Amino acid sequence: MTFYELEITYFSDIRCVFQEYDYVFNVDIEDGKPPLKLPYNCDEDPWFAAQKFIHDNNLSQLYLDQVANFIVNNSKQSVPLAPSHTSNEFCDPFTG
């Protein structure tokens, strides 16, 4: 699977499969075949969007990190790697 930065399409309010998205990326996975559409909204978790894309297109789970990182890098968002708690209280990592 190859991600071509030049193939990125991002416009405001793009309609893809009857839903509006902030970004719709073209992902070229095989030469000679049309690129797949990777829709993404800025309020989504990039890993959930990547998982949905992988599931919808019957791709290997091994691509999850690559797809998610592609979304993060090309949507120009900062994604927190850990919860942002300002208090010193204990926070259970499974229940918040």
pLDDT above 90 covers a percentage of the chain that reads: 34
Q: What is the pLDDT of residue 2?
A: 46
CA dihedral sign of residues 39, 43, 45, 46: positive
Single pTM value for the model: 0.62
**pLDDT at 47 exceeding the cut of 60:** yes
Which range in 5-9, 18-22, 29-33, 68-72 is most confidently predicted, on average pLDDT?
68-72
- How high is the pLDDT of residue 62? 92
Name the nearest CA neighbour of 14 among 34, 42, 35, 33.
42
